[in-house]
Structures are given as C-alpha cells and as structure tokens.
Amino acid sequence: MISMYHSRISGVGYYVPERIVTNHDLAKIMDTSDEWIFSRSGIRQRQYSHVSTGEMGWLSAERALATAGVDADDIDLIILGSTTPEEICPNTASYIKNKLGAKNAAAFDLNSACTSWFYALNTATDMVKSGSINKALVIGSERLSLAMDWQKRESCFLFGDGAGSVVIEATEREGGLLAGKMSCVPDSRECLRLPNWGMSPAHLTGDLYISLDFDGAEIFKSAVKGMSDAISDVLEKEGLTAADIDLFVPHQANIRIIQSLAKRLNFPMEKVVVAIDKYANTSAASIPLALCDALEDGRVKPGMTILTATFGAGLSCGAGIIKWGDRVEPAAISDKSIPEFEGTVFDLMKDSFTHYGVDADHLLTKSEG
C-alpha cells in the first residue's frame, strides 16, 4: 500500500450488444414513429442482448482491465451496479469475479436502479481512500429489454442493454472521484417502479414477465431538482463553479432532462456528453458507456475536471467531480468477445412479444423446426 490514499480511474471498458433496434423497427410492431420517439426522448436506437447481465458485465470488465494494464489477480474488490441480475442469491458480481479469474477479489452487487454504477464508484473510491483496498472494478450492467411491456407505448422504447466498467486504484496523486454526493428525493418512491420484481409473496404468481410503472412528469421534476441539488453540493465541496467544469457526463435517461439540467446550471451543451441517441437509457450502464464514448471521440483530455450526475428509482440521485488522470489511450486491448446472436432482434424478442400479444411473426427469420 502507498502512504497517501487517493484514487484514480486507470482503465475503462464497455460492451453493447450487436443487435440494434431502431425506432423504425419498433414502428413495425406498435403505433409509433421515429419522429414521435426522438422528439420526446432523443433516442434513435437501442441494443438488446441475447446474453445475461453477468456476461455483459464480464466482457466490459475484461476490456477495462486491459486498458488499465491490470491483471485480474490484482483486483481486491468487484462491485456490480445493476437492477437486472439474473440471480439475487448468489450475487452476479461473484459470477463475474470467477469468470475473470479474480481470485483475490471480494464481490458484491449494488442496486439503486440507474444510480447503481455511480453509487458503486463512490463506495469503491471511499474504500480505496481508506486504505482497505488497492484496486477495484466498478461495473454497471443491465439487461432491461427483459422488463419491457410492449403494451405500454409511452415507455417501452426508453431502455436498452449494455455494460460499462472502470478500474480504480490507489495513487499518491489526487485524482478519480474527488467529491461525491448520494441522495434520495423525498416522497418520490412510487414514480418509477418494477412492481413485480422482488421476493414479496404477492409477486410469486409464476409470471416471469415484469412491467415498468412510470410517471414521466414526476420523474422529470424530481430528477432535475435532485441532480441539481447534488451538483451544487459537490461543486461547493471542491470550491468550483460550473465554469470550472471541462466536461459533463450525465445519466442518459432523456434528452429533455439533460437539456433542462444543463440550462439550470448555465452549462453549455457543447460540453455535455450525449449518447442517448445511440444506446437509449441503459440504467446503471449509461454513465460508463457515455464516458467510454467520450474517450473514443477524443473529448477526454489528461487532467480534465469532469462532472457527472445521475438519478434512478427511489428516487435516488447523485453527483460527482472526477479528476481525470493521464491515461486517455489504452495500455492494451482485450481480445475477449461474446458470440453473436444468430437471428434478428425480432427472433431474439419473440417470447416477450408473444407474451404481450404483439404480432411479430411476419418479421421472424427463425423457424420452430
């Protein structure tokens, strides 16, 4: 262990499924259009996965380790932020640990909905700064396509699947997450829910399909206020103003929320990373995915001061100030991969479409035989 405990982000990695679902694709199975969806959300497409949350998280973690130049054996802790683990017990982080071969790592899941990755980053950073661990993997991975209710036109287009990871490690130089704020907006718990997802006896009906309950107006109001308050808190902690921020990487839930938040902060959209058009809302994966996009596009420079903010069901909120280190190019590139799904997205989602009474048989390429 080093004598002074700071943290830095030394590597990033991501995975998005190859099966893209455009707004035009959705218009083939429901009463909608590209213009209707884009004007309300900023979304053009999303990706749906044929593999589990754990599998996507594993590959994003492999890629993060490679870019950091860190061996899996050197990782002390793995935290998976997710709302969609394939199992509640044992945790999915332990699956990722075993597949990585991270034999020395502790592993646990953290669920605060869309804020899960940021809460996990905050938790792991505090553990590095305390000296209890040296290196950690922080993963956000979601397979939200399984939670889509195709009878709910107003919300079924909002979400996509994917995973993003970062490696954080102890350093003598100040960096990484400098200040973080986690909060929960009072009396907003019911505005965003997966009511059939959990261990209540009332849920044990044998129906494995879950349906999102969604109050868009209440979410918008609470999210903008909650994130604004959290941002004010971390800026004050670091003695900064919006003018000191080089780049803003917000949760990618809705372009209107992002624009409203930027306007409220008097923050120019030119400095805001927007990836919702490509990925839709990937919940816990959205911020690491957007961060990876910004790195690939050359928007992240050494020494940058980066602001992030997020919200999720609960209604949980958070914000953080990240000091970027020197690494903007990968130390190495992983050769690991996931086999591609053989078929179209309509083949992939066939069972879900059938359950909700969506007529997509004419779009299938796979026969039952």
Question: What residue type is 24 in one-letter code?
Answer: H
| Per-residue pLDDT at 208 | 55
Distance from C-alpha of 309 to C-alpha of 231, rounded to nearest angstrom: 7
d(CA 270, CA 358): 40
pLDDT on residue 8: 95
Residue 266 annotated as catalytic? no
Q: Of the residues 23, 111, 114, 122, which is catalytic? A: 114
Peptide bond between residue 315 and the one before it cis (omega within 30 degrees of 0): yes
Look up the pTM and report it: 0.93
Q: Which of 91, 111, 254, 281 is catalytic?
A: 281
Q: Name the architecture of domain 6-359.
A: 3-Layer(aba) Sandwich (3.40)
Q: Is 251 a catalytic residue?
A: yes
Residue of 124, 141, 130 lying closest to 78 (CA atoms)? 124
Helix axes 34-41, 255-264, angle to 10 degrees: 30
Residue 101 has pLDDT above 50, yes or no: yes
User: What residue has token string 């058009």?
Assistant: 277
Cis peptide before 90 (omega within 30 of 0): yes
The domain ranges of the chain are 6-359
Query: For residue 287, what are its two tokens?
Result: 């911020």
Active-site choice (6, 91, 134, 251): 251
Is residue 362 annotated as a catalytic residue, yes or no? no
Q: What is the pLDDT of residues 230-289, one digit of tens each?
A: 999 999 999 999 999 999 999 999 999 999 999 999 999 999 999 999 999 999 999 999
